[in-house]
Amino acid sequence: MRTQVAIIGAGPAGLLLSHLLAEGGIESVVLETRTREYVESRIRAGILEHSTVELLDSLGLGKRVHAEGDPHNGIYLQWPQERHHIDFAGLVGRRVWVYGQTELQRDLGVARETGGQPIHYGISDTAVHEVVTEHPSVTFTDSAGRAQRITADVVVGCDGSFGPSRAAVPEHARSTWEHTYPYSWLGVLADVAPSTDELIYAWHPDGFAMHSMRSASVSRLYLQVPAGTDIADWSDDRIWTALATRLGHGQGGWTLNPGPITEKSVLPMRSFVMAPLRHGRLFLAGDAGHIVPPTGAKGLNLAVADVALLAPALIALLGEGDDRLAEEYSETALRRIWRCTHFSWWMTTMLHQSGDPFDAQLQLSQLRWVASSTAAATGLAENYAGLPIGF
């Protein structure tokens, strides 16, 4: 097989990149280990930034976001006896959309199917070869068990945090930065109407809690738990009791509506950045190149921002032989990546209990500052609602 761009991974980064390339007349093949059904039902992110929605609109892919997503003008920041609304729309003129990653993944899947995109699901043994030549290739075993090789002009690793692309950049050619947090999130999906109109991020002495949502009848909730927590230790009753306490059930007449839990899992929290995001003819985008903890809702949006930069660079490189944007891709993308890495770390460390009483006082001081100072709230709003693509 031969193509112009071999894309490893059919997550949001891989599928959106193949779409953007096709719009620019560049062909690609997407390779994915999982089945399409698995990829489309993976419960993950829930918030799309303003610029993500603008990009989807510009591609004609935003119709369902507008029909079924829910625009939110801000978030609530909370600590015991206090709840404050941070009004992104009023502060920075930008807002966010509640729209599950599962839905975006379906929209991108349908768009690529309509466009006749070759996507090989259910593959194994993915390996990247000869990336420092003009003809890199990817070998894999297809879903029927046949050994395959795709030769391309460029390979893009959109294979998330556990894919093989990152390791195809030799250690001497890369730098990495990593921070592991001593806590995880216990996330649940529940068949119950949200108890809030916009997301609640709650600081509490027992640990952070968050109330998000997926639709008018499905709530998404998270609890801070120690790293290494066994999900078996958390019965549904224990989860609802902890959520009620940390989210302030009963305070000011606010109530948390419990309901049947349909999914629960424990998610470790990590920050990771690799540079550069290019080695020869191999480029990295999305979680393959960087990971943020979910507290700032940045991971999916960063993956989108990466491919929005990479697509024009590859179109110029392969369409016109102009490699200037491709040369700049890593440095330009890393500016936004580090901004989001800092913002996600800041939101995470401001809201989660570290166990140190000194940290707790500093956290409360920051929360009071953000809730009472327009300057501080504007900084949070600008980062959360998302900087323009190309920042």
- Active-site positions read 72, 201, 294, 298, 384
Give whichever of 8 and 309 is closer to ligand RFL, judged by the CB atom.
8
Give whichever of 147 and 375 is closer to ligand RFL, judged by the CB atom.
147
Residue-wise DSSP of 181-248: EEEEEEEEEESS--SSSS-EEE--TT--EEEEEEETTEEEEEEEEETT--GGG--HHHHHHHHHHHHT
Chain-centroid distance, C-alpha 259? 27
Instruction: Name the minimum Å distance from CB 189 to ligand RFL.
Output: 10
Q: In this chain, which of 294, 318, 380, 386 binds ligand PHB, going by CB under 6 A? A: 294
Chain-centroid distance, C-alpha 318? 28
Q: Which of 161, 167, 152 is nearest to 118 (CA)?
A: 152
Residue 119 as a binder of ligand RFL (CB under 6 A): the answer is no
The answer to whether 5 and 28 are in contact (CB under 8 A) is yes
Q: Which of 283, 254, 310 is nearest to 157 (CA)?
A: 283
Residue 5 as a binder of ligand PHB (CB under 6 A): the answer is no
Q: How many CA atoms lie within 13 A of 188 on its CB side?
A: 26
Kindly write out the interface string for residues 105-134 of this chain, putting x where it contacts ligand PHB by CB under 6 A and - elsewhere: ------------------------------
Give whichever of 44 and 174 is closer to ligand PHB, judged by the CB atom.
44
Q: Answer whether the bond into residue 12 is a cis peptide, omega within 30°.
A: no
Q: List binders of ligand PHB among 195-254 (CB under 6 A).
A: 199, 212, 220
The residue behind tokens 């809030």 is 196
Instruction: Name the minimum Å distance from CB 350 to ligand PHB.
Output: 13
Kindly write out the interface string for residues 46-75 of this chain, putting x where it contacts ligand RFL by CB under 6 A and - elsewhere: xx----------------------------
The residue nearest ligand PHB at its CB is: 46
In angstroms, rounded to a whole number, what is the distance separating the alpha carbons of residues 292 and 54?
A: 23
Q: Which of 320, 317, 379 is nearest to 347 (CA)?
A: 379
Residue 293 as a binder of ligand PHB (CB under 6 A): the answer is no
Q: Which stretch binds ligand PHB (CB under 6 A): 127-135, 288-296, 316-324, 328-336?
A: 288-296
Q: Which stretch binds ligand PHB (CB under 6 A): 45-53, 164-172, 272-280, 312-320?
A: 45-53
Residue 10 as a binder of ligand RFL (CB under 6 A): the answer is yes
The answer to whether 20 and 61 are in contact (CB under 8 A) is no
Q: Which stretch binds ligand PHB (CB under 6 A): 30-38, 104-112, 289-297, 307-315?
A: 289-297
# binding residues, ligand RFL (CB under 6 A): 35
Q: How far is CA 26 from CA 22, 310, 315, 327, 341, in A?
A: 5, 13, 7, 18, 31
Residue 46 as a binder of ligand PHB (CB under 6 A): the answer is yes
Q: Over the range 239-252, which residues count as b (16 or more CB within 10 Å of their CB) and which as e? A: bbebbbbbbbbeee
Kindly write out the interface string for residues 180-219 of this chain, putting x where it contacts ligand RFL by CB under 6 A and - elsewhere: -------x--------------------------------
The residue ranges that bind ligand RFL (CB under 6 A) are 8-14, 31-34, 39, 44-47, 101, 126, 158-160, 162-164, 187, 267, 286-287, 294, 297-301, 303
